[in-house]
Amino acid sequence: MPTSTITINPVTRIEGHAKITIQLDEKGIAQDARFHVNEFRGFEKFCEGRVLWEMGGITSRICGICPTSHLVTSAKAGDAILSVTIPETAQALRRIITLAQWLQSHALSFFHLSSPDFLLGFDSDPAKRNIFGLIASDKEFAKRGIRLRKFGQEIIEVLGSRRIHTPWAVAGGVREPLEPAKRDYLLNWIPEAKETARLALDTLKKIHVKFEKDIPNYGNFRSLYVGLVAPDGALEYYDGTLRVMDGDGNIIADKVNPSDFHEYFGEATEEWSYLKFPYYKPLGYAKGMYRVGPLARVNICDYIDTPLAEAERKQFKALAGGASVVNNSFYYHYARLIEILFSVEKIEQLLQDPVTMGQNIRAKAMINQLHGIGASEAPRGTLFHDYTVTEDALLSRVDLVIATAQNNLAMNRTVRQLALQYLDGAKVTEGLLNRIEAGIRCFDPCLSCSTHAIGMMPLHVQVVGPENNVLCDVRR
Amino acid sequence: MKPKVATIWLGGCSGCHMSFLDLDERLIDLADKIDLVYSPIADVKEFPRDVDVTLVEGAIASFEHEELARLIRRNSRFVVSFGDCAVTGNVTAMRNSLDLDDVLHRSYVELADTTPRVPRDYPTIAELMKQARPLHEYITVDAFIHGCPPTADQIWSAVTELLAGKKPELTHVFLRYG
Ligand code: SF4
């Protein structure tokens, strides 16, 4: 029987509002832990009655971190409703902006949010353990990270005329083509971006050595992995079909049309979180736990079609030893950096492709289908927008399945594993609790997205013994 | 002593905070000029006592937000409504014309395949208010930065003026919504 509860509130340096509660027995040994997500904004209901054409603008406001992923996915649901094949230039441009979204979001996750733990230390002064502390301790490294995120944002601004909440992608294509001078401006960034990606990877590899003892505790368990792959099995981000791999590397479902998502995946609800719990239907709730995002994508793809990232993927796979799947959530960071490198290489290829510079950017049509599903790989995993419309283009039903939610079961499993490992009846320190939060940061959850909301609160941890005596009191 | 600055997310999408990070290299200059004492991108968990300037993103959408807003007001000299959600309610308030129970029912019951139920484990999770409202309906606000989100340039000029002890002028640049 749990006799007391520790609350970590809010979980910080993640993109959203969450708490962790840890239940302890009378000896102060952790018995269970839960990750609670604490906001809700109701997009699925209030979008009913809105017009299809404004859905990109509204749904990008679900999340300020990956608005472009929502925009593109919404436009893809619109393509399906118009029943059009969009021009190849529009497709190339949407691919670039999708990768730019990965780039800025992954840079944020690594440099701004997670690296303070690794470079300043899990037990360092919490008042300084953030991007400003990093600027004070290693200005050059922090600046590199800031500029890498900036490059991603600059691409989005060049294409969409603003960085956050651009309305540039629409059902049928995009609004503006790319001008040559702007293309050249972006190409000039590539060498620096590649160098920073390299620097990040080298830094992370040193971190792997430094935290050798900690890493095996960071959400190290078998689970399913889900994501899009290209028709030839390559790493995919914009299109493709769904693949499901198990924790031993067996492909248990493949070439699944994203429109058939609901046949394979269900969602459960719990009273203690506003974040739903998606699961793989054939295994049921909660056995059908799966992970999405960088770790899943780099695990499930057969190869990456850019040379530097492919070389890293092979090293990544070697971490699994004899097995073919890397099951440790700590390596989300590694997979994320591999994807940064891939994004830079791929953006360069796409910018150099003459197709990208075409002027035919939009297919126009009326409503030809009353139902359409859009899917793409957002930074944190596969994102689905499922729309039903009337013949007048009014939304009558909206179902959004967000990347982060699909990691909910695995995030809960991770905090539980970390709590059981670190809270063993000894004194609870701020640094120990920060390690548990760091388990969540591996997933880089975007909670504004996943509950379609966001917020925050203070931390006060009290460990209370069986006689109601305070065993430990930590504030920060 | 450097001025103490805090930023907080209430009912918003974090886009205003992301626009703050869009200050890019100017963040490095800012690091010399301010102490960031509380923020979702930093680890201090309890809102500090004497903050000079607090930027508040998002509408008041839950009872927890209201409590936080009052705490922020007590502990800050200058409170700024940061972005359209704080200023008008904006997208967060789009649910206001609907019945909250219907909105929750849609997401957690109709769109659930197993264990359909509305989350209600209060106060582990926050109880939502029937309406999401602008910040100034709950506390006195000293300045407003419009935009969804405000651009990095807007944020830079507002923050520069605030740090100089001035109230940012509501010039046309600051009156841009959306
Ligand atoms: S004002 Fe716009 S960018 Fe800011 S939180 Fe609200 S929806 Fe997001």
Could you tell me the pLDDT band of residue A14, with boundaries at 50, 70 and 90? low
- Tell me how crowded residue A298 is: count the other CB atoms within 10 A of its CB: 26
Please indicate, yes or no, if residue A18 is contained in any of the structural domains. yes
Is A434 within the bounds of a domain? yes
| pLDDT over 70 (residue B173) | no
Q: Ligand 1, closest atom to CA A164?
A: 3
Please say if the pLDDT value at position A117 is more than 60: yes
Q: Are residues A22 and A94 in the same domain?
A: no
**Has residue A318 been placed in a domain?**
no
pLDDT at A289 over 90: yes
How far apart are the C-alpha atoms of A35 and B55, rounded to whole Å?
A: 27
- Judge whether A264 is closer than 8 Å to chain B, CB to CB: no
> Is A225 part of any domain?
no
Give me the pLDDT at residue B51, please: 96
CA distance A21 to chain B (A): 9
Cβ separation B41–A113 shorter than 8 A: yes
Residue A455 has pLDDT above 60, yes or no: no
Q: What letter represents residue A355's amino acid?
A: V
Do residues A35 and A150 share a domain? no
Looking at the structure, tell me whether residues A94 and A193 fall in a common domain. Answer: yes
> Are A116 and A202 in the same domain?
yes
* Phi, psi torsion values for A297, nearest 5 degrees: -60, -45
- ipTM, interface predicted TM-score of the complex: 0.92
Percent of chain A with pLDDT over 90: 61
- Asked if the structure places residue A94 within a domain, the reply is yes
Q: What pLDDT, in 10s, does the model give residues A43-95?
A: 888 899 999 999 999 999 988 899 999 999 999 999 999 999 999 999 999 99
Q: Tell me, what's the pLDDT at B116?
A: 81
Same domain, A341 and A471: no
**CA A111 to chain CA centroid, nearest Å:** 15
pLDDT over 90 (residue A471): no
Q: Is residue B125 situated within a structural domain?
A: yes
Residue A331 pLDDT more than 70? yes
State residue B106's pLDDT score.
81
**What is the residue with the minimal CA distance to atom 2 of ligand 1?**
B148
Alpha-carbon span B48 to B72, nearest angstrom: 9
Q: Identify whether residues A92 and A208 lie together within a single domain.
A: yes
Q: What is the pLDDT of residue B130?
A: 92
A200 shares its domain with A139: yes
Q: Can you give the pLDDT at residue A426?
A: 67
Domain count, chain A: 2
> B25 near A147, Cβ under 8 Å?
yes
Higher pLDDT, B124 or A281: A281
Instruction: Tell me if B178 is assigned to some domain.
Output: no
Domain holding B113: CATH number? 3.40.50.700
At residue A386 the predicted structure's pLDDT band, cuts being 50, 70 and 90, is: very high
The answer to whether residue A209 scores a pLDDT higher than 80 is yes
**Whole-number pLDDT of residue A475:** 40
pLDDT, residue A458, reads: 30
Q: Which residue has the higher pLDDT, A10 or A158?
A: A158
Cα three-residue angle A299-A305-A311, rounded to 5 degrees: 65
Q: Please give the radius of gyration of chain B, using alpha carbons only, rounded to the nearest integer.
A: 17
What are B63-88's pLDDT values in tens digits? 989 999 999 999 999 999 999 999 99
Q: Is the pLDDT of residue B21 over 70?
A: yes
Q: Per-residue pLDDT for A463 more than 60?
A: no
pLDDT exceeds cutoff 80 at A371: yes
Please report which confidence band the pLDDT of residue B96 belongs to, taking 50, 70 and 90 as the band edges. Answer: very high
User: Does A195 fall in a domain?
Assistant: yes
Task: Determine, yes or no, domain membership for B77.
Answer: yes
Question: What is the count of structural domains for chain B?
Answer: 1
Average per-residue pLDDT for chain A = 87
Residue B130 counted as domain residue: yes
State chain B's maximal CA–CA distance in angstroms. 56
- What string of H, E and C letters represents the secondary structure of chain A? CCCEEEEECCCCCCECCEEEEEEECCCCEEEEEEEEECCCCCHHHHCCCCEHHHHHHHHHCCCCCCHHHHHHHHHHHHHHHHCCCCCHHHHHHHHHHHHHHHHHHHHHHHHHHHHHHHHHCCCCCCCCCCHHHHHHHCHHHHHHHHHHHHHHHHHHHHHHCCCCCCCCEECCEECCCCCHHHHHHHHHHHHHHHHHHHHHHHHHHHHHHHCCCCHHHCCECCCEEEEEECCCCEECCCCCEEEEECCCCCEEEEEECHHHHHHHEEEECCCCCCCCEEEEHHHCCCCCCEECCHHHHHHHCCECCCHHHHHHHHHHHHCCCCCCCCCEHHHHHHHHHHHHHHHHHHHHHHHHCHHHHCCCCECCCCCCCCEEEEEEEECCEEEEEEEEECCCCEEEEEEEECHHHHCHHHHHHHHHHHHHHHCECCCCCHHHHHHHHHHHHHHCCEHHHHCCCCCCCCCEEEEECCCCCEEEEEEC
> Which residues in chain A have their CB less than 8 angstroms from residue B108's CB?
269, 276
Domain residues for A22?
Answer: 4-39+412-475
Phi, psi (5° rounding) for residue A264?
A: -100, -25
pLDDT band at residue A16 under the 50/70/90 scheme: low
A38–B116 C-beta distance less than 8 A: no
Q: Which has the closest alpha carbon to A395: A119, A51, A46, A122?
A: A51
Mean pLDDT of B12-30: 95
Average pLDDT over residues A313-329: 92
The answer on A187 and A100 residing in a single domain is yes
pLDDT digits 0-9 by tens, A425-445? 767 777 777 777 777 778 887
The two three-digit tokens of residue A383, written as one number: 């994102």
pLDDT at A453 > cutoff 50: no
Verify that A106 and A208 share a domain, yes or no. yes
Q: Is the CB of B5 under 6 A from ligand 1?
A: no
Confidence band (pLDDT; 50, 70, 90) for A325? very high
Contacts of residue A140, defined as CB under 8 A and 6 or more positions apart, other chains included, come to: none
Q: Which residue of A132, A283, A380, A434 to mutate against B (max B Cβ within 10 Å)? A: A132
**Closest Cα to atom 7 of ligand 1:** A61
Same domain for A34 and A90, yes or no, is: no
- Report the pLDDT averaged over residues A325-345: 96
User: Mean of the pLDDT values across residues A272-285?
Assistant: 87
Strands A241-245 and A251-256 come out as: antiparallel
In this structure, the answer to whether residues A145 and A91 fall within a common structural domain is yes
Query: Pick from A36, A37, A146: which is nearest to B24 by CB?
Result: A146
Domain range for residue B41?
A: 4-163
Does residue B173 belong to any structural domain of this protein?
no
Residue B152 placed within a domain: yes
Is pLDDT above 80 for B171? no
Mean pLDDT, rounded, of chain B: 89
SS3 label, residue B3: coil
pLDDT of res. A37: 64
Is the beta carbon of B57 within 6 A of some atom in ligand 1?
yes
Both A169 and A27 in one domain: the answer is: no
Q: For position B40, what pLDDT does the model report?
A: 83
The domain that contains A355 carries what CATH number?
1.10.645.10
Give the pLDDT score at A3: 62
| pTM summary value | 0.90
Q: What is the pLDDT of residue A44?
A: 84
A441 domain-assigned: yes
φ, ψ of residue A91 to 5 degrees: the values are: -65, -45
